[in-house]
Structure 1
C-alpha cells in the first residue's frame, strides 16, 4: 500500500495535473499535505475510500476537486477555513456533514463552491465579508435549514434542501431554472449590420461580411479561474487568437466565440468561427495552416486557460466561379466521359489482380498454416497478410517452453508473461503470452500482427510469429541476449558501456524509430520509448522493442487524437498528455529523455527528481556544462572530457522542448548523432562488432523482467498507475 501511496504522491508532485476519472482505489496518502506548493488537486470520479484527505497547510492550493469518490462520512474539515489561495472547491456527491464556516466564502480569490449532494446541515451563512469574486455557491440536495447571504446577489443553488420545503418559501435560490448563466449566452459582439442577410450556406462575420468560416470547438482541459461569467476572459482569448493569426500570417479577417460552457467532464469549451480576410472562403493551404496552428498547439493560450485541444469541423468545398463552370462545361463533359472509360479499364485490371493475388495467398496459406485456419470458427477465412512471420500451433509453443514452465519465465507485465523458448532448429525465442484480461478482439489481434509482420529493420526486435489456438493470443519475438539498456546503465547486466558504445546505441535506436516514423507502411508511433525497451544483442547493437502501445498512422494523418494517454512516467510527452494529440514528436520527447539517461545513467524520475528539470537547471546555471558534471554517469566520464558531449546534451534538450513544434524530427536526431560520432572519431556507417562477452560479468536480469518503473495508461483525462 505504501508503494501505491508513494506513486500517487509522485504523480501528483511531478505532473501537477489532473488525476480524475482514472479508477484510482484505496485511501489517499495521509502525507498528501506535504505537497505545500501544489496549486491544483483533482482526484474526482475515482474509487478512492477512507478518510477525506487532510489538506491543512497546502496554502498554494487554488483548485480542489474531490467529487464522486467513496470517502467515509466526514465532518466539515478544518481546512475549509485555512486555504488562503482557494478559488474553486468542488466536493460533490460525497458524505461531508455539518455546517459550512462562513470563512470559506471569505477567501479573497474565492469564486465557486460546489458542494452538491452531501450531508451539510444547519445554516448556510455566506457572511458579510464574502469574496467579491464569488459567483456560484451550489449546495443542492443537502440538509440546509436556514440561509443568511448578507447581500450576496450572484448564483446560489439551494434546491433539494429543507430550507426550500418550508411553507411559504418562494426564494429564487430554490429554483435552479430561474437562475441564468451569463457565460452560456456570450458571443463575440457584432457590428450593426442593418438588414444584411447571408445565403443559407454562409455565415455573417462580426464585421458584417458573409463568408465561409473555419469552424470548430476549442476545449480547455483546465482553467485557473472559475468565474466563467466574466466577459473579460473571452475578450482576452479573442485578443490572443487574433495575435496568433497575425504572427503566423494566417489571413483572418475576424473571429467569433460562441456558446462557452463546462462540458460533462468539467472541461471548458468554446465554439469558434474564424472568418477569411477580404474574400468569401479560405484557400486550401490556408485551411491547412489554420489546422496546424491548433493541432500542433502553436497557438499559446492566455494566462488562466490551461492545455487545450481543438475539434475542427470539415471545411466546406472550395467554391468554383460560376463563369468558369459555364465556359468549361464541354471540357468537363469530355474529361468525365474519358475518365469513366479509363476507370472501367483500371477497375477490370484491379479485379483481375486481386483475384490472382487471392489465389496465391490462399495457396501459400494452405501450405504454411499447420492448423489450416486463422479463426477456428471460420474455417480458413480471415488469414492475416503476413510478411516474414509464421503461425505457431499452441502445441509447438508448449513444447518449446517446456509447457510454459515457470523456470522459463523471463518476466511479467500488464500484458502477461514472457517465456524463453527454443525451436527445433535451436533458435531462441521470447514467447509473450497474453493473460485473459489482456486479450484483444480477433480483428484487433489480426490487425496488430499484420502491422508487426511488416516491420523489418536491423534496429527493431523482429516478430518471429504468433499463435491463436485454444483462445490464446501469443506473440513470438527473436530472443535478445544482452538485456535492456536500463540493465546495462544500472550495472545489472554486467555490460560496461563507454562513451562510444553509448553513442552507437543512441544512433541505433534513433534509426529504428526513424524507420517506424518515416518508412514503415503504415507509419508507426511507438508511444513507449524508454531504456527498458531498448535491447542489446551479442554485438551490443541496439534494437527497439515492445510495440504493445504503438499506433499506426495513415498517409494522410498528421497525428492522432487518442482516447487514452499511454506511456511511461518520466518519458511521457507533456503536450501529448495535455492535449491527447499524438504525433511522431511524442516519441522524440521520450527519446530526448533516453539521451539524458545515456549520459547520466539515472532513471527519468529518481527520488522525486525529474532528470529533464535537473539537467535544464544545471545548464541554466552554467552554460559551459560545468554544473552538469555532477549529474553525469561517473562510469563514463571520470577524469576525461567526452568528445561531442555538449552537442549531445544540446540535442537531448531540443528533443524535450515543451512544444512539439520546437522539437526536431527523428531523422534529424539520427543525423545529428552521426555528426557527434564523427567528432568522437567514429564512423557512424559501420555497425558495432563489439561482443558483450568482453565487457560482461554474469547476467543477473533480463529485458522482460518487471522493473520499478510504471506504465502511464490514463483515461481520456488523466493517468492510471500500473506497476509493471
Structure 2
C-alpha cells in the first residue's frame, strides 16, 4: 500500500491482517510437538509432517486429521491447535498425561467435525468458544476433570449427533435457550445426551425437551439434579434409553411418561420420588426397569407388570410395595432378574410352574413372606433372608443365605487349540493360542438390557460383532478376548477387552491408532442388547522384545573372543560417541529452527527477519524481580486477559506488565505474531510496547507506563475509532478529519480515496462479527481503492494479498486484544464472525 495509505487506516486493519498471516501447518505441528512428550518416534525427523508422521492426515499440505489415541502423550493442548484451520478430526483419547485446560483457540477450528478427548487429564472450565464449532458432529469430552458449567453456546451446534460430557466435575444447571442466549433445547438433531457422573444441580428445565427432538439416549445419572421430572419428557417419542437415577428428584412421576413407547431401558431409581407408582402400561418393548429406592405411596404389586412382556429385569427395591406377589409376574417370557427387596410383601410366595426359563434370581430380602410353596422344587437363585420364613428354628434352606458371588468369571474360550504358555512379561495367550502383547482396556456399557452375567451367548455376540467390525475397518487384528464381566456401582456393565495383533506379537503404532479411533469414535457398534458404551484404553508398550542364545566354546576361544570383542566394543563406543554428538547438534539445530522464537535473541534485535523494533525479550526472573514477586501492591488492574502490574526498570523507566492468566495464554506462533505486530505499530494514541516475556510457561507484555490514571483515562477523547466517528462529517472534504489524521501523511488534495479507506476501516471495527467484512473482502476493497486512486496495488506492500492467505480469514481470538495492557478497561472486544 506504501507510505501514502493513511496510518489511521493501517493501524485499524493491520491487526486483522497479521492475525491471519500464519497457515503453515507443518510449523504449527512442530509447535504442538514442542508442547508434548512421548510423541511417535517418526515425529523427531525433519520431514514434512504430511508425509509420514504417525497419526497425521493431510490434504493439499493442510492437516485434516490428528488421531493419537493411547500414545502415552504428556503435556498440554496449546493455543497453536487453533492455527490448523482445515482440521476436521482431533482425537487425543486415552492419554492421561495430557493435562491443563482446553484452550479457547479450539473455537477457531471451524471445519472440525469430530472432537474426541476421552479419558485424558484435562481440567478447568469448558470454553464458550466450543459453540463456534458449528460443523461439529461428534463431541466426546467424557472421563476428564472438566469443571464449571456446561457452555450454553453448545446449543449453536446444529449438526451435533453425539454429545458426551459424562464423568467430569461439571456443576451448575442444564442450560436452555432464553432470548438471544442459546441452550441445549436447540439441539433437535442430537441423538445422544450423555451427562452422567457429574455434579449438575438445579431442576431439569421444562424447556429442555420438545416434540422436535430426535434424542435416543438421555443419560443424566449420578448428578445432583433436583425438582420434578418435567412432563415435557413425554414429548420426545424417539427416546430408547432414559437414565435419571442417582439424583435428588422429587414429586410425582409425570403420567405421560408411558408415551415413551420406544424405551428399552428406564432408570428412575435412587431419587426422592413420591406419589403413586407410575403406570407404565404401553411400554411394550422395555427390557430393563429400575424404580428402586424411592418413596412412592404404599401399593400392591401393580397388575400391569405382567403386561410388560419384553422385561428381562425388574427392580423395585424399597418402593413401599405391600401384599402378596402374583404368580403371573414370573411368567414373563424373557424375565431374568427380579429385585423386590426391602418392601412389605407378605403371605405365601408362589413362583409357579410356568415361570420364565431364563429366570436366574429373585431377591425378596427383608420382606414379610411367611412361606414358600415350592420349597423343594425351585432351581432359581432365591433370596429370602430377613423374612419370617427364614427366622424359623432349624431352617437351613439355601434361600435363607446371601449369594457369595455376583460377578462372572467369563473368558473368551480358545479356538479349538491348547492355550500357549507365555514366558515373556506382558505376553498373553490369545484365543488362537499364540503369545502376543494385546491392546487392553475396559468397555463400559451404560444401560445393558440384560442382567444375567453368566449367559455366555451374549458375550459371544459381542465378540463376533467386534471381530467383524475391526476386520471391515482393515485393522491388523488376529483375535479378541473378553473377560470378567461385572456390574459396578453405577450399574454399568464393565468388560475387560484384549485385542491381539495379526502377523506379529506386537501392534505397530498405526494399528493402535486405528483401534483407538474405532472405539473412541464409536465406529464399532455393539449388539443392541448392550446399549450405549464408552471405552477406556490403556497406553501401549511399543518396545520390541529381545531374545538371544549362545553356545559353548573352548577357554582359548572365550579369551580370544573376549579380547577381540573388547577392542571392537571400544571402537564402537568411540564411533557411537561421535555419532551421538553429531546427532545432538543436529537435533538442537532442528529444535532451535522449529521454535516460534528461534530467530530472536535476548534483545529482540536479531539480524534475521522478522526483526523486532525496540522490543526486548525479558526473562521471567527479571520481571519477577521488578514487580517484587508480582506483589498485590503493584497490581494496577485486572481484565479478561490477565493482571497488570506496575514496575520500574533498572534505568528508572516506569513500565506496566500485562501477565496472562492460566487459560488465556496462546500458542507460541500466535504470541510471536502478536509481538511482531505490536513492535511495528506506533501511533500517538497507542501505548508503546517495551518488550515481552515468553519464559517458564509465562506470556507477558511490557508496555510504557501511563502516569495519569488508567489507559482509558489517558486516552479520554482519543481512542481512535470513537474520535473518528465524533469528528467525521461525510458532507465535507476528507470527511472533516483534518485534525485527526497524522500530518505526516500530507493533507493535500492529492490524498485520493481517503473516504473509502475510512468506510472500510469503520466496518472492520463494528461491534459484532456478522457486521464485519472478511479479511478477503477488506484486501480486495483496498486494492480497488488504490487502483481508482492511481496507485499500483502490486507495488510495495500491494503483494500482501498474496503473501497472507485470506480464505476464511477471521479474527482468531475471543480474549482481550493484546493492544491494551489494562484488560477490560481498553478491550477491542473483537468477536469472531
Counting helix residues as a fraction of each chain, which structure ranks higher? 1
TM-score by length of 1: 0.48
TM-score by length of 2: 0.42
Higher Cα radius of gyration: 2
